[in-house]
Amino acid sequence: MRFGKIDFDYAADLAGRDPAADGPIYMVNFMKYKTVAEYRGGGGVAISGIEADDKYSPVEVLKKIGAHVAFHGKVVAQGADGEWDRMGIVKYPTRRSFIEMQDRPDFKEKRVHKDAGMDYTVIVGALPAASHSPIRPGRYVMFDLSASPRDVAPSGTTAAFSIEGTIIHDDRRWSSLAVSWHDEVPSVPACARGGNRMVVVAQAEIDRWSDLLTSP
């Protein structure tokens, strides 16, 4: 893969999970784009990596398989400057549905744009660590991903997740994710690039977390 390493063991687990043990999974995408998109074969009008990703946007495919975009937004602050450009989170009805989507012709048609525009990405499979009450939306959402397990108490402005696996990785492995909502851009702790913690703040363009976290 051009923009990350696949964890084939986790992919096999997602694809082979017994239906009785399967269920909804959140795929949390940390995304960094190329300055100029690179399409195989070249040619055409030069566009940015972000513009290529806009062409990718597989919303209709997601609808067909029963998945929902939970969040999408531009990164406005982060612990390691310039590491990420966008955040995107999709709730899939099952783990298997995420894997099966990869072979759909309509998805492959879209994916050429992602391949062209993405510089690198990390995608983690996340599960709510506890029952959540409705979230009070905020304009800015902070994602705090850690290699260590943490006890984060869910509230009206905070959600807690355990990380089941990292389907696309950069050799780091993750354990927990805390998500919090803010009316203003919150202060962000400095994080070493390539370290065991990533903290990113994104301005919400799509935010359906509350409905999805409190639904089956």
**The token pair that represents 56 in the structure block:** 């990718």
**Lowest-pLDDT range of 83-87, 113-117, 143-147:** 113-117
Q: Give the domain CATH number at 39.
A: 3.30.70.100
Q: How confident is the model at residue 216 (pLDDT cuts 50, 70, 90)?
A: low
User: Amino acid identity, residue 123?
Assistant: I
Residues 70, 92 contacting (CB under 8 angstroms): no
Average pLDDT estimate for 164-191 = 95
Q: How confident is the model at residue 41 (pLDDT cuts 50, 70, 90)?
A: confident
Q: How confident is the model at residue 68 (pLDDT cuts 50, 70, 90)?
A: very high
Is residue 150 over pLDDT 80? yes
Is residue 3 over pLDDT 90? no
What are the helix and strand counts (H, E) for the chain? Answer: 6, 9
Task: Provide the number of structural domains found in the chain.
Answer: 1
Question: Cα separation of 25 and 175, whole Å?
Answer: 15
Question: Cα separation of 43 and 193, whole Å?
Answer: 34
Average pLDDT estimate for 34-50 = 87
Question: Cα separation of 138 and 155, whole Å?
Answer: 13
Closest CA to 40 of 120, 117, 119, 121: 117
- Domain residues for the domain of 82 are 5-213
Mean pLDDT of the chain: 93
Give percent above pLDDT 90 in the chain.
81
Residues 49, 36 contacting (CB under 8 angstroms): yes
